Structure 1
């Protein structure tokens, strides 16, 4: 059964020739990726965002630096009772206040992309002012302090100042380096003038600390920039996907509306056509039967027969269109009752027997006896079997053979199978013949071309019964159509066959 095509899943036909509709979305996504990838190489796309994050960091940590300055001043006064530290503390608090006020002004202003560079330079200048304050602190000395305790105090304070500034201001690129260059210059000048080993050591330690924390701050800056790039890319991609989804939803809605309008149009037109067609069939049958008197010209009698046959063909076509329209519109209702598949199969074989004999086709029956009744729509199942039998007789050559099987499935359901030894269908054309108005190459070349609606109606009716339709065929080996009703439709259920030998015995026809 691997070659079968099930109706349990909907058929989705994809037009691969319309891929150009997605080019606009693909182009936008590609442009976004190129823009974001180039941002790490000097493109200043995220400068404004990084500047805003630095401003927020300054405002959030505004109280840390004053507390640190007060603590430094208190310890310094304890070690060296000098009023100079109070003046330095007042200066540092003033510079810090200027820095905070500048950040608050920047937060309240809508900074444009053009003004970003100007505000960045202002904030860097404020950091340099803070650096001058720490440079003044580096000049502090204590003549009354014993030993090297004041050097230790001054070095610890400067290292803490560098680390605090680096952690709170890494969003401002080069802020650490520019902010502490004045301090390094002051320490270097002191070391050159004094040539004291402690001054030289303190200068070296602070210089290394500035370089190290600048490196750490730069790495944090780049990492944050990368995260922002990924976030921006994700947001842009989500936006593009939302646009594509909305376009897809709109296209699907329009397609559903068009399909519903088509179904309504076909149903309405079919009803309108049936009224005059019934009159044509009635009058042509009266003429062909010569009810009102003989036709003097035999050609007229032949024409009347042609009119009647053509009208019957057109009526069958209209009925199929109506059935398909009702199914697509969800108006096809089942009139279910208890019935026997064996009786339906025998009646349908009798209906097509005359056409089969005209082509010298043998119809063989392979029925499993004493099958219980099923709960189904009798008219619908007759339509299924007549469609399959008509197709088998139509495509079976002169002197061929059609086999009709009715029996149990391995799962406890019942099936009807019609197999012929006609030309068959190429396996790649099976999905085509199962689609509405679809016809295979053999059908197109045939003298008896149909509408292409029979098999779609068959599988739709079986789907309404929760059943399954399987079409198996190979070129030049014939075709087998199998209609399966599930075990839930059988009124007298039997357990499903579990062991392989029993499956083989009961289902030889599917081997």
Structure 2
């Protein structure tokens, strides 16, 4: 039997062993969403990132402070003509070397969250050491030069150092205060002990400047933390999108595998189902027509007619399911040829005419004349017209009217329109009846229920022809179904090609 073919491969089409992947992906999505909702942008959550940025800033700007110290030392030696300030310069450079050494050592190590506080204290201690050097510079004196001149030199150097430190250490909270608090303390102590008005004024101005710059560096630090939090949220959102895409891809893959399994199952079962159905139809028809002898019981004859009708209904259902399955699997091939659309409409009207007369339904054809042929699959287009006409006859009440039109579209294509004056379809149910196995409320209440596959097959066949299907309907106003073929399917009549006259005929015509 054909059902036994490729059963081993069909059993493993849907791989259920991958459920654990979906669980892991779902867990990642929940964790990411929880991080976003619990506010991971708290400043405490970015201490490590801020420390790493500070380390990079120290290493990149390692040459700036030595240049400033060297310039101050050179000017101090020029003004005081004393080598003592050079000793201060060496001390300041040594303190700065400690900071650079710590930065390089921290860069080489992988600083974890548990070591952030330790390294932060180390860098603050190095800044305090540098602050002691600046305090020593503030207490320098010059006997050979003027007092005001040297005080101006000290104040300028301290203010430049204050600004440079503020710009270079704002990523490390409180670093500016640790650096220049010893300077303010030294100047304040000098002012109290000596009563020098110049030191008093310098202390006040430097203190106000320190407060202002400390406030500004704190604002800059918070702004940088906010930028980091926004970047973190963006990364989390990107991660969540990637995880969601992974879930979507996995779901799509599983759906494709399930669809493939369905197509293989239907393909293998088609022969197994049709073979006994053909036997049922054949024997029931033989019995109903009494070919082998009369049936003495008339009830048995009615039963054979019911068996034949039910078998035909089941065979049509199988054919529709297989057609839809082939279309979805992309295996529905068109056998195209030149066909007249009016002839197809006339043939389909003849097929349903007997049933329409049984319900006293009038079918009125309205065909445009001299319609050229179209390049289509005749069997498929006949199925489209027959499905639409069968639906119209099915849902049109007794004594109703059906109008069948074949004509031109505004763009140069051709169309078949089938309009009835039946109960119609509510507008909100039109998407339902256009979906596979979808039925509207009128169809459900009707005694002649279908499978809900006719209109989806019509849509799919027209889509294979690059056409369009339009369903217009309103409750208690009837329904109009329009099948449209594009202009490129129309075979326009071309003038015959005339053969070029021979030279002898050309000379004769000139003569």
Give the TM-score, by structure 2 length. 0.88
> Are 2:338 and 1:338 aligned?
yes
Contact 2:32 2:236 in 1 (8 A): no
> Are 2:358 and 1:358 aligned?
yes
State the shift of 1:27 in Å.
7.2
Residue-by-residue CA offset, 1:376-424 (whole Å, 9 max, x unaligned): 1111111111111111111111111111111111111111111111111
Structure-2 separation of matches of 1:255 and 1:168: 57
Structure-2 separation of matches of 1:88 and 1:22: 62
Structure-2 separation of matches of 1:90 and 1:28: 52
> Are 2:182 and 1:182 aligned?
yes
State the shift of 1:33 in Å.
4.4
Which runs of no fewer than 5 residues in structure 1 stay unpaired? 1-20, 495-511
SS of corresponding position for 1:271? helix
User: What is the aligned partner in structure 2 of residue 385 from structure 1?
Assistant: 385
State the shift of 1:434 in Å.
0.8
Question: Which is worse superposed, 363-372 or 91-100?
Answer: 91-100
Structure-2 separation of matches of 1:370 and 1:63: 92
Structure 1 23/387 Cα, relative in aligned 2: closer, same or farther at 3 Å?
Answer: farther
User: What is the aligned partner in structure 2 of residue 32 from structure 1?
Assistant: 36
User: What is the aligned partner in structure 2 of residue 429 from structure 1?
Assistant: 429
Structure-2 separation of matches of 1:173 and 1:204: 23
Structure-2 separation of matches of 1:266 and 1:411: 40
Q: Give the number of aligned pairs.
A: 470
Structure-2 separation of matches of 1:352 and 1:335: 25
- RMSD across aligned C-alpha pairs, in angstroms? 1.9
User: What is the aligned partner in structure 2 of residue 52 from structure 1?
Assistant: 52
SS of corresponding position for 2:405? strand
State the shift of 1:455 in Å.
0.7
Structure-1 separation of matches of 2:129 and 2:52: 20
Structure-2 separation of matches of 1:237 and 1:368: 60
User: What is the aligned partner in structure 2 of residue 3 from structure 1?
Assistant: none
State the shift of 1:26 in Å.
6.6
SS of corresponding position for 2:424? coil
Contact 2:48 2:116 in 1 (8 A): yes
Any residues of structure 2 matched to 1:254-403 within 5 Å, and which? 254-403=254-403
State the shift of 1:348 in Å.
0.8
Contact 1:281 1:308 in 2 (8 A): yes
> Are 2:470 and 1:470 aligned?
yes
SS of corresponding position for 2:246? helix
State the shift of 1:50 in Å.
0.9
Contact 1:131 1:179 in 2 (8 A): yes
Residue-by-residue CA offset, 1:440-487 (whole Å, 9 max, x unaligned): 111111111111111111111111111111111111111111111111
Structure-1 separation of matches of 2:127 and 2:391: 89
Contact 1:412 1:493 in 2 (8 A): no
State the shift of 1:373 in Å.
1.2
State the shift of 1:62 in Å.
2.0
SS of corresponding position for 1:144? coil
Structure-2 separation of matches of 1:95 and 1:342: 99
Structure-2 separation of matches of 1:398 and 1:219: 83
User: What is the aligned partner in structure 1 of residue 16 from structure 2?
Assistant: none
SS of corresponding position for 1:148? helix
Contact 1:367 1:405 in 2 (8 A): yes
Structure-2 separation of matches of 1:188 and 1:30: 52
Contact 1:384 1:461 in 2 (8 A): yes
Residue-by-residue CA offset, 1:21-40 (whole Å, 9 max, x unaligned): 98984774253243234x14
State the shift of 1:102 in Å.
2.1
Any residues of structure 2 matched to 1:209-224 within 5 Å, and which? 209-224=209-224
Contact 2:341 2:406 in 1 (8 A): yes
State the shift of 1:299 in Å.
2.7
Residue-by-residue CA offset, 1:157-200 (whole Å, 9 max, x unaligned): 11111112111111111101111111111111222233233222
Contact 1:270 1:321 in 2 (8 A): no
Contact 2:28 2:243 in 1 (8 A): no
Structure-2 separation of matches of 1:144 and 1:279: 128
Contact 1:33 1:233 in 2 (8 A): no
> Are 2:93 and 1:93 aligned?
yes
Higher relative contact order (CA 8 A, sep 6+): 1
User: What is the aligned partner in structure 2 of residue 153 from structure 1?
Assistant: 153
Any residues of structure 2 matched to 1:99-248 within 5 Å, and which? 99-146=99-146, 148-248=148-248
Which runs of no fewer than 5 residues in structure 2 stay unpaired? 1-24, 495-511
Question: Which is worse superposed, 270-279 or 82-91?
Answer: 82-91
Structure-1 separation of matches of 2:147 and 2:121: 43
SS of corresponding position for 1:143? coil
SS of corresponding position for 1:439? coil
Residue-by-residue CA offset, 1:181-231 (whole Å, 9 max, x unaligned): 111111112222332332222222222222222222212211111111111
Question: Which is worse superposed, 123-132 or 287-296?
Answer: 287-296
Structure-1 separation of matches of 2:391 and 2:246: 44
Contact 1:132 1:183 in 2 (8 A): yes
Residue-by-residue CA offset, 1:237-275 (whole Å, 9 max, x unaligned): 111111111011111111122122223322322232001
SS of corresponding position for 1:35? coil
